[in-house]
Amino acid sequence: MIRAPSQTDRRIALGLGLLTFVVLWATERPVGFVRDESVYFAAAEQFARWWALLFHRPATALSDSVITQAFDFNHEHPMLMKSLFGWSYTLFHSVLGWVRPAAGFRLPAFAVAALIPALAHLWGSALWGRRAGLFAALCFFVVPRHFFHAHLACFDMPVAAMWLLVVYLFWRAQEDVRLAPWSGLAFGLALATKHNAFFLPVVLAPFGVLAAWRAAGEEGRRVLVRMGQAAVAFIAYLALLLAVLGRVGLVRSWQLLSPQTFGVLALVVALTALAVQLRQRDTAAFVRLAPLVAMGLIGPVVFYVHWPYLWYHPVDRLAWYFDFHATHVHYAWTYLGEVLRAPPFPLPYVFVVTALTLPVSLLLPMGVGLLRAGARTLGDVVPALGRRFGRGGETEWLLGVNALFSILLISLPDVPHFGGVKHWLPSMPFLALLAGREFDRAAARLSSALPPRRAMSASVALGAVVLLPALTLTVHVHPYGTSAYGELAGGIPGAASLGLQRQYWSNNVTGVLPWMDANAPQGGRVWLHEVNGLSFRDYQRNDMLRKDVTPVGGPEDADLAAVQYHQEFREQEVLVWQAFGTQVPATGLYLDETPQVIVYRRPAR
């Protein structure tokens, strides 16, 4: 198999990417601002101002205090996407005035999300043919929740795209060593997108090492063993520090000149020296290991350089960053009639929610694709399975592991579960790829049962029929994608009866803003429950809410109140009843009968 795509498939991938970008842009306007998005808008604006300062007064901009001042806000996430959001906003909204502010921020998110169908096609077509690649690309984006998340100036869809990019380049670089530096760069960009990417080496290292081991001669294997010894020594050293200092002590005492920094530096130096040795002694083995080496060397450099906040205080701020995400708070999240507030969370949660949110016509090929990948990978070690399903080989393992990794990671009972599918989005493009193979197999068999002249049209018709339910659901639920549920759940009303999370925070309020615009008194006081002050400002500056209305902090001060239905927030609606003296809403957003946002108007006194 040649891993490089053909010229035609490159063009198709480009077309798919462009199409995705255009569709996302064209459908962006009604999409509300989820709770964090307005924070990222504000952060992006602030960082854009720093970049402007850098051009005008570089010495000032590069000082420790100014960097801290500029980048302290929202320093729980790295800078790549926020920088892109800020630059795009400045150029396309502030300077050129071509787009509204929100679209200015979101354009880079569309561009990065557009990588997913392009890469899915490139990879799928290289593995199983154009039909599989096209289906993989399309089936990812017609899932309502994927389509929704692709609109946001956030990091979940971008890190899914980056994850796919890194793994794809890693796979390509195993054949073509010229791509190894690119996989290192992509890994750096992934690290600079969201912390999920720190797990990529965990996923990819076994593949790289195993491939190198298989390709290596005796000399090469000796070097590889030494590399393994260095890694084990580092882990033992880290374990020793943990035992002596404890987790908190390890984080707090991590400074530039500290045992922790020494350990990391020693590992990097040792592995680099051994990689150079491997290159000299066993080129074939080095080629297989080169993507990992590039990721190890280039990735951290890109991550450090892209984030000015780390420049003066790399160690302690990085330690804080890891600690923040390792000890993230748990927000309430409703699952099968129960409000999950604290660990341990139910083990099947991720699998159940995935099954209930995917349209069933896509769940089937994704599920079967995963099962087939499992059977084929096991076929490598169990001959009977290998004879029945074929043997998977390295690529099958790579796809299967990546399809499951994020799903299994979030399934761990102590990992935060709020946020639903967005937290395991990096798995979904791989499931889409496996679905592409299943579709291709089905279409190929169908074609073989038909006269040759009908084969092409049969494949197209089959694809259209399989994608249509998802597309219908996506069109129906847009722009309220966080409320979407598939047929297994019984749609949105079935999910309500099952006691599933009804929506995320803030974004569905767009469904009632036009009514509020029409009915709020001049200068009226409005309480938008779970819409933070930044989002309120963003709704106003994007002309989604009248500028004369004022946000208030609760129903007691409000003329109008919009309450978002969350199981854990029932008290908030009841407090509106108390403050307004009525239990009769004025209007609301009811999706397929389910209350999402309920609006109350204070009766005239």
Partner 1 sequence: MNETAHRLRTAAPALALVLVAVLGLGFQLQLPRAFPSEADYRGVAEALAGTRARGDVVLLHPWWTERARLFLPGDLPLVGYLGDTADDLLEHPRIWVLANERLPRTPDADFRRNFLPDRTPLAEPRRFGPLTLTPYRNGRARTVVLAAVDALDRLQVSVDGSGTPPQPCRRSGERVLCPFDALVEVGWHEVLYQPVRCLFLVPPSGGRTLSIRLPDAPAADALLLEAGITWEHAWLAGRADVQLHLDSPAGALHLRIPGAHEGFVRGESPSSAPGPWTLRVTTSSPQDRQVCVRLRALGPPP
Which residues of this protein are in contact with partner 1, per CB under 8 A? 332, 337, 339, 341, 359-361, 364-365, 438-439, 441-443, 445-446, 448-449, 458, 462, 465-466, 468-469, 472-473, 476, 486-487, 489-491, 493-494, 496-499, 567-568, 570-571, 573-575, 577-578, 582-585, 587-588, 590, 592-595, 598
Min CB(565)–partner 1 separation in Å: 8
Min CB(131)–partner 1 separation in Å: 12
Min CB(39)–partner 1 separation in Å: 23
- CB of 78 or CB of 367, closer to partner 1: 367
DSSP 168-179: HHHHHHTT-GGG
What residues pair up with 595 in beta bridges, in sequence order? 590
Strand duo 525-528 + 333-335: pairing: unpaired
CA-closest candidate to residue 46, choices 56, 38, 34: 38
CA-closest candidate to residue 289, choices 226, 182, 204: 204
Min CB(544)–partner 1 separation in Å: 23
CA–CA distance, 478 with 307 (Å, rounded to integer): 35
Min CB(391)–partner 1 separation in Å: 21
Min CB(49)–partner 1 separation in Å: 38
- CB of 195 or CB of 437, closer to partner 1: 437
- CB of 280 or CB of 583, closer to partner 1: 583
Helix (H/G/I), strand (E/B), else coil: 526 = strand
Ordered alpha helix ranges (H), 412-523:
428-448, 455-477, 491-498, 513-519
Which amino acid belongs to residue 486?
G
- CB of 165 or CB of 496, closer to partner 1: 496
Residues with Cβ within 8 Å of residue 496, at least 6 apart in sequence: 502, 594
- CB of 99 or CB of 560, closer to partner 1: 560
Min CB(94)–partner 1 separation in Å: 41
CA–CA distance, 372 with 431 (Å, rounded to integer): 11
CA–CA distance, 34 with 505 (Å, rounded to integer): 6
- CB of 62 or CB of 364, closer to partner 1: 364
Min CB(135)–partner 1 separation in Å: 10
CA–CA distance, 512 with 530 (Å, rounded to integer): 14
- CB of 209 or CB of 442, closer to partner 1: 442
- CB of 2 or CB of 584, closer to partner 1: 584
What interhelical angle do 428-448 and 393-411 show, nearest 10?
Answer: 130
Helix (H/G/I), strand (E/B), else coil: 601 = strand
Would you say 314 and 304 are in contact if contact means Cβ atoms under 8 Å apart? yes
